[in-house]
Amino acid sequence: MQTEPIISLRDLTMEYPGKRVLDGISLDVFRGQIIGYIGPNGAGKSTTLKILLGLIQDYKGTVEIFGNDLRNEDQDVKRRIGYVPENAEIYDTLTPMEYLTFVGELYGMKRAAVEHKAKQLMTELGLEDVLHTRISSFSKGMKQKVLIISSLLHDPDILFLDEPLSGLDANSVMVVKDILAMLAASGKTIFYSSHIMDVVEKISNRIVLLYNGKIAADGSFDELKGQGEAGSLEMLFNQLTGFNEHQQTARRFVELVTGGETDG
Amino acid sequence: MDNFRSLRVMDVFKGLFQAFGIDYPSMRTIVGLKLTMDERRIPVVFSQTKLKEGNQFLKSLGLYVLYGLATIPFLFFGDSVMLQMGIVFGIAMFMIMTSLIADFSSVLLDVRDRILLAAVPVDDRTLNAAKLVHVSIYMTLIALSLLGIPSIVILVSKGISFFLLFLVMMIFLMLLIIALTAITYMVMLRVFDGERLKDMINYVQILLSVGVFVGYQVLMRSFEFVGLTISYEFSWWHFLIPPLWFAAPFEWLLGGNTSKPLIVLSIAAFIIPIFAIWMYIRKMPLFERDLQKLMSETRGGKQKHAVMMKFWERVLCRNSEERASFRFSWQLMKRERDFKLKVYPSLGIGFVAPFLFLYIFLSDGTWEDMITSNMYFMIYFGFLIIGPLAVMLSYSSKFKGAWIYAVAPITSVSRVKRAALKASLAQLFLPVYLLQAVIFTVFFGWRIVPDLVVVLFSAVLYAVICYAIGAKGTFPFSLPMGESVQSGTAKQIILMLLIGVFVGVHILMSKIPYGTPIYLVVIVVGCLVGWKVLLPIKRKTAYM
């Protein structure tokens, strides 16, 4: 069933002055996959996403989306991509309605159609009464919902998400998780990076672990589990990133807090 | 953190604070921390110049010294002590109060205190005292720089008793200003929600910038009246002008004028500040509670019927991408406070300047002379709006949201930029220009209409040149606001000189027969070519 890859990275290398962030990454992503892209802070997750989106261009290697080399800058490719950035970066002096119509129109939708769709989507996520309120007064979770809607307005085929669940309450997390699962089932490809291992473990059907600019592990959770003796993704993560002293670190920390009065 | 001189001065009053039940060491730590943070903040008066290291506020004090020097002539203005001191206290009150609102709203309205310090075992009384002390330190510094030199002049020219009375009155004036500002905020917090309050503060900040410009010009003019003998006569409405309260004791105690109204005014100068500050301290807990509004999320809100936006959008934009960007830019400019703070002062100055220079002309010549002259070229001073506007268009306090430009399938970068520039001109420059043009036509008659059309097209050409120089190929609203001050000044001067070129050519052309119609054609063509060359519409080739 897996024929042509939707996203294809070949020897992707990215260097900032004095630091190699990505060191020859090769990866094929296929239709309908939910890729959980994990790794320690600074491993290059966001950099990879930014390259895929065309936000960073001075990379080495090749990146193809829908068989098009990114360097050709095909606007039709962009039209089929949706993106949720990390840290809820948004022009928050606007109202959701104003922002969403702007984004929708940039993606070539008719204004009336965007307005209608935005209103319905906002209503579904419980935001119908803040449609015309400035985003700056929103909580982080509400902002995140607006961004998720803005990434899906134009019905993209690929979705890039950077920590999409941060700030959402437990119920909203469940809704968004189900949305992602259903989108993938309907043939969309989802590529998302996160630190929250429990969620990655539950909703990804393929996990890619980035460590020191290289892919340290790639496969479904079950496959990865077979490789080591870890019982959870969290433990696997620790094992693969060579971090096994969390207990020692924790103990030293607590001793410093209490002035060395722990019993062990 | 301990090396603040003001803290050491505060230590002198340690006993006094403790007598009020304030935890002095905690308060000292809090105030010290706040002073440290202030070193990383830029005051409004300084916003047009460069971003530098150190406490910008302390550096801006130099400006207040200059303003203070301007008050000295008034000390010798006419024969009436009441008028002299009334004007001096009036200027001091305006300067201190506006700077308090402009630069210290963030202190008075700081809600982070609540979140960060509420969990720490520090009681409310100490916290509030810290806030009051923090503001007072700066007020004292402003007052000292503003009135330091004038008070020495007073000491030398008017004697020791006048000087001492002046010092006492200044202290009471400052008490009144702090209390008045805080009470104004209390009332505004009661009436408006958080967003509206921030808007109001924004307008005061803008008023300050315009007020300084206009006030300076008017002050220069009023030197001509020096030498006139005006004696003071009381009217009932003087009770409504606080600076006169503070001037009254001089007339009463030193001038020997014991008329009843004067004594009442003098008493007001002592009683009202004390009453106001007592009110403030008493109502402070209420104030703190209302402050929570600033953080709260407001629900609801209605869709605005932006008639002007829809009109111009239809007139000026050709395709949906341009229309979307036009609306987006229009809405952002309407909302973003930092943008307004940087642009609106020049809006006020650009509107006032042409009339101010006409007024200056009138003080030498007659009205008939003026309306038959070519003084209508003064309307070019309205171009002062365009430079800052076009340059600031690339900046936003939420510049990180600009990822959307790179991610969205935009077919032409120039179209997005054109839309932003068109929106800025239609929203901010055009209304000012049209109003000026109408008034000028009333003054000078129909003969100037062709010239006004030339000016309009020159403005459109000038705007695109300013934008091309200012934007450096970036998307609108995509650079951090703080950076805007770094590159500003030199560029703004070049852009201002460019206005001179436009004026010069226009005046030359108006001197030759059929010059104006010919120039009109030239400038319209120049406009079309300028926009085509500087913002060419082609398939997107570069991202950011």
HEC string of B242-282 equals HHHHHHHHHHHHHCCCCCHHHHHHHHHHHHHHHHHHHHHHH
Q: What is the pLDDT of residue B83?
A: 75
Question: Confidence class of residue B205 from pLDDT cuts 50, 70 and 90?
Answer: low
Output the pLDDT for position B463: 93
pLDDT at B151: 87
Structure tokens at B92: 């001091």
- Name which of A46, A80, A105, A110 to mutate to probe chain B: the one with the most chain B Cβ atoms within 10 A of its Cβ: A105
Whether residue A224 is found in the same domain as residue A106: no
Domain membership of residue A131 (yes or no) is yes
From the CB of residue B153, how many other CB atoms can be counted at a distance below 10 Å?
Answer: 18
Q: Count CB atoms within 10 A of the CB of residue B282.
A: 9
B79: Cβ–Cβ under 8 A, 6 or more apart, which residues?
B229, B230, B231
Rounded to the nearest angstrom, the minimum Cα separation between B411 and chain A is 7
Whether ipTM > 0.85 holds is no
What's the DSSP call for residue B298?
Answer: P
Q: Which residues of A146-171 are buried (b: 16+ CB within 10 A; e: fewer)?
A: bbbbbbbbbebbbbbbbbbbbbbeee
pLDDT of residue A121: 93
The percentage of chain A sitting over the pLDDT mark of 70, rounded to a whole number, equals 94
pLDDT given for residue A228 in this prediction = 62
Whether residues A191 and A60 fall in one domain: yes
Question: Which residue is listed with tokens 């008719």?
Answer: A110
Amino acid letter, residue B196? R
A72 close contact with B: CB closer than 8 A: no
- The domain total for chain A is 2
Among A137, A144, A149, which would you mutate to test the B interface (most chain B Cβ atoms within 10 Å of its Cβ)?
Answer: A137
Q: Which residue has the tokens 């008023």?
A: B207
Residue B543 clears pLDDT 60, i.e. is over it: no
A60 and A127 share one domain: no
Instruction: Tell whether the model's pLDDT for residue B149 goes beyond 80.
Output: yes
Q: CB under 8 Å, gap of 24 or more: what pairs does A1-6 form?
A: A2/A30, A2/A31, A3/A30, A4/A67, A5/A29, A5/A30, A5/A64, A6/A30, A6/A31, A6/A65, A6/A66, A6/A157, A6/A158, A6/A189
Q: What angle do CA A114, A83, A165 make, to 5 degrees?
A: 105
Using the predicted structure, report yes or no on whether residue B292 has a pLDDT greater than 90. Answer: no
> Residue B183 — very low, low, confident or very high, per pLDDT cuts 50/70/90?
confident
Question: Are A111 and B320 an interchain contact pair (Cβ–Cβ within 8 Å)?
Answer: yes
pLDDT: is B53 or A212 the higher one? A212
Q: Do both A120 and A202 map to the same domain?
A: no
Asked whether residue A137 is domain-assigned, the answer is: yes
Chain B residues with a Cβ under 8 Å from any Cβ in chain A: 194-195, 296-304, 320-321, 323-325, 327-328, 331-332, 335-336, 396, 398, 400-401, 403-404, 406-411, 477, 540-541, 543-544
Q: Kind and range of the H or E element at B10?
A: helix B5-11
Three-class secondary structure of residue B77 per DSSP: coil
* pLDDT tens per residue across span B525-539: 999 999 998 888 765
Is residue A228 domain-resident? yes
Same domain, A36 and A164: yes
Say if residue B497's pLDDT is above 80: yes
For residue B492, pLDDT over 80 is answered with no
Tokens read off for B154: 């007073």
Q: What is the mean pLDDT of residues A128-151?
A: 88
**A174 occurs within a structural domain:** no
Q: How confident is the model at residue B107 (pLDDT cuts 50, 70, 90)?
A: low
* pLDDT at residue B325, as a whole number: 93
Q: How far apart are CA B107 and CA A116, in angstroms?
A: 43
Tell me how far apart the alpha carbons of residues B444 and B370 are, in angstroms, rounded to a whole number: 8
- β-sheet bridge partners, residue A191: A35, A160
Taking an 8 Å cut-off on Cβ atoms, the answer to whether A132 and B403 are in contact is no
Same domain, yes or no: A52 and A11: yes
Which alpha helices (H) appear in B39-123, and where do they start and end?
A: 56-71, 81-108, 112
Which residues make Cβ contacts (< 8 Å) with residue A149, sequence separation at least 6? A96, A100, A118, A121, A122, A125
Partners of residue A152 in chain B, C-beta under 8 Å: none
Closest residue in A to B303 (Cα–Cα):
A132
Which of B301, B409, B543 shows the shortest C-beta gap to A132?
Answer: B301
- pLDDT for res B1: 46
Rounded to whole angstroms, what are the CA distances from B96 to B84, B104, B175, B214, B313?
A: 18, 11, 11, 17, 42
pLDDT at B542 exceeding the cut of 60:
no
Tokens of residue B508, six digits:
């030359």
- Both tokens of B125, joined, read 């009384």
- The pLDDT of residue B49 is 42
The answer to whether A49 faces chain B, any CB pair under 8 Å, is no
- A97 and A136 belong to one structural domain: yes
Could you give the CA distance from residue B268 to residue A124 in angstroms, rounded to a whole number?
A: 61
Mean local confidence (pLDDT), B312-338: 89
What's the pLDDT at B102? 63
> What is the mean predicted confidence (pLDDT) over B193-210?
71
Per-residue model confidence (pLDDT) at position B50: 42
pLDDT of residue B540: 45
Give the CATH number of the domain where residue A257 resides: 3.40.50.300
**Residue A102 forms contact with B (CB below 8 Å):** yes
Which tops the pLDDT comparison, B333 or B117? B333
What does the pLDDT read at residue B233? Answer: 64
Q: How far is A80 from chain B (nearest CA, A)?
A: 9
pLDDT of residue B108 exceeding 90: no
CA–CA separation, A140 and A148 (whole Å): 12
In a domain, A173, yes or no: no
Residue predicted with more confidence, B253 or B108: B253
| Residue A178 resides in a domain | no
The DSSP H or E segment spanning B529 is: helix B515-534
**Mind telling me how many Å the CA of B414 is from chain A's nearest CA?**
14
Q: Assign B541 a pLDDT band (cuts: 50, 70, 90).
A: very low
Phi/psi-derived region of residue B179, left when phi > 0, alpha when psi is between -120 and 50, beta in every other case = alpha
Calculate the average pLDDT of chain B.
79
Candidates A75, A90, A98; nearest CB to B409: A75
Report yes or no on A100 lying in a domain: yes
Q: Give the C-alpha separation, B39 to B60, whole Å.
A: 12
Torsion B297-B303-B304-B306 (CA) sign? positive
Residue A93 to residue B335, Cβ atoms within 8 A: yes
Burial of B289 (0-12, 13-18, 19+ CB in 10 A): exposed
Structure confidence at residue B58 (pLDDT): 64
| pLDDT band with cut points at 50, 70 and 90 for residue B495 | confident
* pLDDT band at residue B106 using 50, 70 and 90 as cut-offs: low
Confidence of residue B114 (pLDDT cuts 50, 70, 90): low
A58–B contact, CB cutoff 8 A? no
Query: Which chain A residues touch B327 with a CB distance below 8 Å?
Result: 98, 101-102
Q: How confident is the model at residue B221 (pLDDT cuts 50, 70, 90)?
A: low
Instruction: Give the mean pLDDT of A222-240.
Output: 70
pLDDT at residue B52 tops 60: no
A97 with A44, same domain? no
Mean pLDDT rounded to a whole number for chain A: 84
User: Among residues of chain A, what percentage have pLDDT more than 90?
Assistant: 16
- The pLDDT tens digits for B424-480 are 999 999 999 999 999 999 999 898 999 999 999 999 999 999 998 887 778 898 887
Q: What residues pair up with A215 in beta bridges, in sequence order?
A: A210
**Quick check: is A72 in a domain?**
yes
The verdict on a CB contact (< 8 Å) between A73 and B328 is no
Assess whether A55 and A119 both reside in one domain. no
Give the HSE-up count for residue B316: Cα atoms under 13 Å, Cβ half-sphere. Answer: 27
Nearest alpha-carbon partner for B337 in B392, B408, B297:
B392
For the residues B12-39, what does the mean pLDDT come to? 79
Residue numbers of the domain that contains A235: 1-80+157-168+183-264
Give dist(CA B136, CA A35) in Å, integer: 57
- CB under 8 Å to B293, separation ≥6 — which residues? B189, B193, B194, B197
Give yes or no for a contact between B159 and B253, defined as CB atoms under 8 angstroms apart.
no
Task: Based on the fold, state whether residues A257 and A229 are members of the same structural domain.
Answer: yes
CA dist., res. A161 & res. B201, Å (int): 38
* A209: its two tokens: 């672990």
Highest mean pLDDT among A172-186, B77-91, B284-298, B489-503: A172-186
Distance (Å) from the alpha carbon of B388 to chain A's nearest alpha carbon: 21
